[in-house]
Structure 1
Amino acid sequence: MRTVITCMLMLVLGVAAFSQVSAGFRVVTSEAARRLAVREQPPLMPDVGLVDARSTGDSLRADLAADGRIALVDFIYTRCESVCRVLGNEFQQLQQAILEQGLQERVRLISISFDPTHDTPDALARYARQMQADSAVWRMATVAEARELRRLLDAFGVVVVPDGMGGFVHNAAIHTLGADGRLTRIDDLGAIGSALRAAAARSGGRAQ
């Protein structure tokens, strides 16, 4: 009898613990829990300085506030030949969809390089031309001060590890930022349709 009671107590404690770490059974991974938390309580992103392909400098939050549009943001480095290529292709598709659906006054794209040593304004400009980026819709930028990079990556949940060959291994996602500088949504690669629809809805528009 004592054994049964002990087992039942352990089961109850285990279920309670799992409920706590899975946000009430709604998610089962820490990344999913983070994404749910972002949707429920959008965090304010750090106001780091940026410099773009036109050598224009401002802070992230100042840029968002001045522009007023919902921003879909990814993190890349221009020399990447793997996951960044996928991100680049998806952002090209997003740019096309934004223009075709007339959403360019409501939604825009920002690609932020985490390799400021190599991704100078000139390098970002070359990458923008390569990706056929419309500067009115798609901005290329990197951090103005390398020391601010870690704070920015941590806030977005981006993990970047040197690969030992001059490049990086990193995770990838599409991040939705409001004009108030808050991160409201995170979507996986391949989810550009749902990311754009959500961004358009948040902006008061509607994506197909």
Structure 2
Amino acid sequence: MRLTFRQCRNLASCVVLFMLTMSFYSASMGNDATSSLFPLPGTYKLERIKEVPPGWVIEDSVWKPHRLASYTTGSITLLSFFYGTCRDPMGCPAAWSIFESVHQEIEKDPMLHGRVRLVFLSLDPAVDTPDLLSFYRTKSNSTSPWHFLTTWSDRFLKSILDGMGLTISFELNDKGQRTGEILHMLKIYLIDAKGWVREIYSTDYIDPATALNDIRSLTLEEDKQNDRR
């Protein structure tokens, strides 16, 4: 049984859900009920939601394209979309904060070393070039790789966005010209090593602890599958 606050829409429903959650944990975990609001990793299943779409992205050079699948298969992946000039506190900065927290926790946990990658894909390929994004790559390491990707153009980006179910629009000035602000809903995708989206976190519920709990559940799932081989 997996109880979270993702369905919470108002104060009353939050209170009710909180009481139900604590009641469940009191019954199942005794005195340890208050230690966590999450079920233990591996005790619940994250269903397959959708397969990550095919696409082409660039990282180090515009002359060296990569298939998107090379960043969404082979390891558990936490992926979100951003752009370098985003200033909406509930947008890219919020995603950045979540990723920073997850990145730090992965580095502290040897069981996650080399098994999880973080990916940011730019919504503004005209501005966020590989050279500009290189500024962020110092955060990446072999223990917890963090990739900053872009695309050749809006056309290549659109096919990926459509496949991921994310819609964007552009703010325009009085002359009908883009101001540089890109309007989008914050979504963070948890992807398993086979390239399937297993969870989508949005502005309704974003918490690093939830993502880490789900990541650990996927690692345990992988371990069980490997044991059967």
Q: How far apart, in 1, do the equivalents of 2:51 and 2:130 lie?
A: 26
Q: How far apart, in 2, do the equivalents of 1:178 and 1:43 lie?
A: 11
Q: Contact 1:76–1:113 (CA<8 Å) still a contact in 2?
A: yes
Q: Which protein shows a greater Rg?
A: 1
Identity level (%)? 26
Which 5+ residue runs of structure 2 have no aligned equivalent? 1-6, 10-45, 173-178, 222-229
Query: If the length of structure 2 is used for normalisation, what is the TM-score?
Result: 0.64
Alignment match of 1:176 (pick from 190, 196, 210): 190
Q: How big is the shift at 1:139?
A: 0.5
Q: How far apart, in 2, do the equivalents of 1:183 and 1:154 lie?
A: 14
Q: How big is the shift at 1:40?
A: 3.8
C-alpha spacing 1:81/1:58, structure 2 compared with 1 (3 Å): same
Residue 169 (structure 2) aligns with: 161
Q: Contact 1:70–1:106 (CA<8 Å) still a contact in 2?
A: yes
CA RMSD for the aligned pairs?
2.3
Q: How far apart, in 2, do the equivalents of 1:61 and 1:141 lie?
A: 12
Residue 88 (structure 1) aligns with: 96
Which 5+ residue runs of structure 1 have no aligned equivalent? 1-26, 30-38
C-alpha spacing 1:118/1:60, structure 2 compared with 1 (3 Å): same
Q: Contact 1:106–1:200 (CA<8 Å) still a contact in 2?
A: no
Q: How far apart, in 1, do the equivalents of 2:128 and 2:186 lie?
A: 18
Q: How big is the shift at 1:151?
A: 1.9
Alignment match of 1:194 (pick from 210, 220, 226): 210
Query: If the length of structure 1 is used for normalisation, what is the TM-score?
Result: 0.70
SS at match of 2:114: coil
Alignment match of 1:43 (pick from 22, 38, 50): 50
Residue 23 (structure 1) aligns with: none
